[in-house]
Amino acid sequence: MAEIDNRLPIEAVYGTLPDWAIRDYIQKRKIIISPLLIDWEKKVDPVSIDLRLGIKIKILRQSEIPIDPRVGVTEEDYEEIDLLDKGSYVFNPGQFVIAETLERVTLPSDVKGVMEGKSSLARVGVGVFVTSARFDPGWDGNPVLELTNSGNRPFILLPEMKICAFSFERLMASAEEPYHGRYTRGDVHSLIHVDNGTDEPLSGLRN
């Protein structure tokens, strides 16, 4: 069956970007992904591009002390594991791991990103995020992975393995205030205390 070429001019494409538009945006550095494989153009799927697992993972240390959302946690509450040093990590059932993608992603002010799990991983019980995996226009950083093993067997995590698919959606107009949030540039651990600080009294505690 002959291929159908129904491409619009790139400036007329809105919504989820198809493969050819993803390649165009990356080639013109409207979307920046770094590092890229030499043959990255051949690896763009119909509506997404795969990202790889970074070289370090973090595990929340076990403790009987409850996490107070008004206080939060610190970097010291996490154990960092270098996958390059160890070669791999045995990810046990019921475990939760924080990681980053190897690639850094920079989005323009009129494109949002969506991270999705890999079906091949999901079918052995490995999920790549717990909350919504939306990346607002203007995002600049290494997407954080919230890995869970809900299967019944350990799974081996390898550095630079394919870990998620990333798709892009072009907005009808640029965001007035692109993303300048707190989870960029290496902020991996939870900042729950920012949402629940004592300067904003919880419901029922107001004077």
CA distance 148 to 98: 9
* Positive/negative CA dihedral, 98, 103, 107, 112: negative
pLDDT digits (tens, 9 = 90+) for 157-185: 999 999 999 999 999 999 887 776 655 55
What pLDDT, on a 0 to 100 scale, did the predictor assign at position 206?
40
Architecture of the structural domain at 13-175+186-195 = Distorted Sandwich (2.70)
pLDDT at 30 over 90: yes
Taking only the tens place, the pLDDT of each residue in 119-172 is 999 999 999 986 768 999 999 999 999 999 999 999 999 999 999 999 999 999
Catalytically active residues, by annotation: 146
Task: Parse the chain into domains and list their residue ranges.
Answer: 13-175+186-195
Which residues, in sequence order, are CB contacts of 194 under 8 Å at separation 6+? 72, 182
Quick check: 199 pLDDT over 60?
no
Which residues pair with residue 79 across a beta bridge?
59
Q: Per the structure block, which two tokens stand in for 45?
A: 């799927």
Mean pLDDT, the chain, whole residue set: 87
pTM: 0.82
2-25 burial, b at 16+ Cβ within 10 Å, e below that, comes to eeeeeeeeeeebeeebbeebbbbb
Rounded-to-10 torsion of CA 103, 43, 15, 121: -70
At residue 57 the predicted structure's pLDDT band, cuts being 50, 70 and 90, is very high
